[in-house]
Amino acid sequence: MSLGHVHAQIDRYAYTNALTKNSPVTKIFFALSTLIICVTSPSPLVPIIVFLTTTTLLLRFAKIPVHFYWSLLVYPTTVVIASCLIIALFFGYGETLVAIVLPWFSWAVFKNGVTMSITTFFRVEGALSCLYFLVLTTSVTDILITLRRAHIPMILIEMSLLIYRYIFVFMEVAAQMYTAQKLRLGYSSWKKRIRSTALLAGNLFIRTLEQGERTFMAMNARGYDGNIRTLDDLPRPRMLSLMGIIFFDVILVFVAIMTMHSWVL
Amino acid sequence: MPFRLENVSYRYSDGTLALDSVSTNFVKGKRIAILGPNGSGKTTLLLHLNGILRPTSGRVYFEDSPLEYTSKSLLRLRRRVGYVFQDPNDQLFAPTVKQDVAFGPLNLGLPTDKVKESVSEALEIVGMSEYSDKPPHFLSLGQKKRIALAGVLAMHPEVLVMDEPTSNLDPRAAIRILRLLLQLNQKFGLTLILATHDVDTIPLFANKLCILSKGKIVLEGLPEETFSQTELIRSLDLRSPRIAHLFEILRRENHLPIDKQLPLTIGEARKEILRLLDSKNMIEKEGKSYIEARTRKVNHT
């Protein structure tokens, strides 16, 4: 699976998952509040609860296929494991678990280093699941309209809107150019590969300029006056869901405080 | 009379003269096809009709008043004259179909309810209602073209300008778009001005044809009359519809007594063939085959 393909897939689920009809406000609120509690929690217990909850929501309620969710988790998780191993083996101070002391070299694994590594691992996994929840259940359109309601500056929203739309157009153009170059042996040696990549990037840049000009013309033809107006007809957030999320967050904070001092190896 | 062009010339900044003093009329309620080879200035001509390009010299009149290029009067013009671009990717910029179709009506300052109504109505007309929440990159080219059309129809224009409505479409999608356009003209009286180089489809929808070559209008009139000038058309790097070509050959090589006005569509060809058969039967009944006599004569020489 290429990276572009994964992005297109995520986008597809964002528009087709079983939670599309729920208010984006609810979904964004859930993802962000849980994310913040998750990464600030001192013990791994809260991140574990968060991970299990969001994963259940994604698989059971949003109906995201397990294998796709799994494939999204695998790559970052390998990086996280590697980083956490480094933390466990080389960080920390105080009480040691293992120590090797030689006259010219000493190395030790510290208790709090391992603690930190485990906490970090679960925090990252919990945070990942929150973000995946957001991107897999909420389309970019909905997020942008919600941000507009939150009075984020228009220029940022309009730019994101256009960038988002044309990423897909240019991904297609780039793929076509790449195939055309490949068919004429543009990638057959290391040197040619560098040259072809440079040509592709340069050409793509020119194409974006031309596209910009044409799109501007087309927008003018439909009465564009400097403001991109969007139709705001998102479903209203349900009070019950919002209350539920707040309740869930309170429990998480409570658990975090309770386990603050008890969590040490 | 929606449009009158008076000696309109347009020179691009790189010096190419894309339009060379074009003068013509586009009558209200007509279905006008603008035909020309690549680079003949079709798109440039169309872009003048809703004020995107401003003529270097000459004037464009809409309903007998010359176009003004202030933003206010352009907005007024663009509400009445819709423009559909050739490549729907140029036009579809919004993240979902519904948002894109709503762009025009929102720019007109309509209230939200009205906008929603126009959007669903326009999507209904082009038969894309069930796609309203999809992003454009999920759609096929034919579907994108229909959405681009809906985006313009939602503004309720009186004139629809469309650049290459059938280019790159498969035959079914092409016919679907043409049928839709025909319907819009017949049901809502929309004036159609379409640029194309697909000569075979022109007789199916157009009741006026302008042929453009090197920035000049070289021929205009009814499609049947215009396409009958086969020599001129060929000299312009164009061709007549296949069916007209066939009948032209039958007349020239086989000396069949075919009408001066060549049939252009399957329907017309059928009528003409039946007419020929009928007259042949008449001759045979009288005891001698007129056509056979003619062909024998050709074979001898």
For chain A, say whether B157 makes contact (Cβ under 8 Å): no
pLDDT of residue A149: 87
ipTM for the assembly: 0.79
* Tens-digit pLDDT profile for residues A137-185: 998 888 988 998 889 998 999 899 889 888 888 988 899 999 999 899 8
* Tens-digit pLDDT profile for residues A71-123: 999 999 999 999 999 999 888 888 888 888 888 888 888 888 898 899 999 99
- List all residues of chain B from 3 to 62 with a beta carbon under 8 Å from chain A: 47, 50, 52
CA pair distance A115, B207, nearest whole angstrom: 81
Taking CB atoms and an 8 Å limit, are B90 and A161 in contact across chains?
no
* Tens-digit pLDDT profile for residues B7-16: 999 999 898 9
Measured between beta carbons, the chain B residues lying within 8 angstroms of A161 are 93-95
* Torsion, Cα of A16, B137, B173, A214 (10° steps): 150
Residue-averaged pLDDT of chain A: 89
Task: Give the tokens for residue B190.
Answer: 């929309």
The full DSSP string for B158-176 is SEEEEE-TTTT--HHHHHH
For chain B, say whether A229 makes contact (Cβ under 8 Å): yes
CA distance A139 to chain B (A): 9
CA pair distance B217, B227, nearest whole angstrom: 15
pLDDT of residue A263: 66
Measured between beta carbons, the chain B residues lying within 8 angstroms of A14 are none
Q: Map out the domains of chain B with their CATH numbers.
A: 3-239 (3.40.50.300), 243-300 (no CATH)
Domain ranges, ordered by start, for chain A: 3-138+235-258, 147-221
Among candidates B91, B116, B151 on the partner chain, residue whose Cβ is nearest the Cβ of A231: B116
Is residue B210 classed exposed, middle or buried when 0-12, 13-18 and 19+ CB atoms within 10 A define those classes?
A: buried
Task: Answer for the pair B214, B38: CB distance below 8 angstroms, yes or no.
Answer: no
Buried b (16+ CB within 10 A) or exposed e, B160-198: bbbbbbbeebeeebbebbbebbeebbeeeebbbbbbbbb
* Tens-digit pLDDT profile for residues B211-248: 999 999 999 999 888 888 888 888 888 888 888 889 88
pLDDT of residue B287: 56
CA pair distance A193, A205, nearest whole angstrom: 18
What residues of chain B score a pLDDT lower than 50? 301
pLDDT of residue B286: 63
Give the mean model confidence (pLDDT) for residues A209-217.
90
